Structure 1
């Protein structure tokens, strides 16, 4: 169940971050509301994942890495932002670092 909370936290954080771009400096009401609510929900869900036994380094690492990767892909795919091969490689390295944290953890 902790992993479900983490996945929902990641989705909420990504939604909030994309809405931050769409809020145009908080000048648009609906995206601005989504930003605030999305981040509050994301942190609440992350806290629930942690309270259900996920290690902080693992949960936060997965949250951050997945968030960075998803926001970069959404930005490139839907918001007209660039994503170079170097940036894509950086995303792979971030994800690899999180995997190293997970695989190196004692169970």
Structure 2
């Protein structure tokens, strides 16, 4: 259950961060700012729930940050048409590898 809350935290953070880009443009609407605030509030609430269900802090934060970075980079490329270079793709691979190593090396008894 802790990892479900962590997944919800990631979704909230990615939505909020993506809407930061929308709020910086000329077509920003008042409700875009509400999505940013609500998204981050939701993300931190779900992250706290995840920790409360036993997901270790180091693992939760690494997964939250790493998956968030990768998803935001992909959304930036797909939705906002920002460039994604080979060096950046290499960085994404390294982030995924690092988060995977942290996850595989962590103890999971408390999260069950």
Task: Identify the TM-score tier after normalising by the shorter chain.
Answer: over 0.9
CA distance in 2, matches of 1:16, 1:57: 22
What is residue 7 of structure 1 aligned with on the other side?
A: 7
Deviations 1:28-75 (A, max 9, x none): 311111001100110000000000000011111000011000000010
Q: How far has the Cα of 1:98 moved from its partner?
A: 1.0
Whose relative contact order is higher, 1 or 2, with alpha carbons under 8 Å and at least 6 apart?
Answer: 2
TM-score w.r.t. the length of structure 1 is: 0.93
Structure 1 spans left out of the alignment, 5+ residues: none
Q: Deviations over 1:56-103 (max 9, x none)?
A: 111110000110000000100010111111101101101111111112
Taking structure 2 as the reference length, what is the TM-score of the superposition? 0.89
User: Is the 8 Å Cα contact of residues 62 and 98 (structure 1) preserved in structure 2?
Assistant: yes
Cα RMSD over matched residues? 1.2
- Equivalent pairs counted in the alignment come to 106
Partners in 1 of 2:72 and 2:106 — Cα distance? Answer: 27
Measured in 2, the distance between the counterparts of 1:13 and 1:58 equals 17
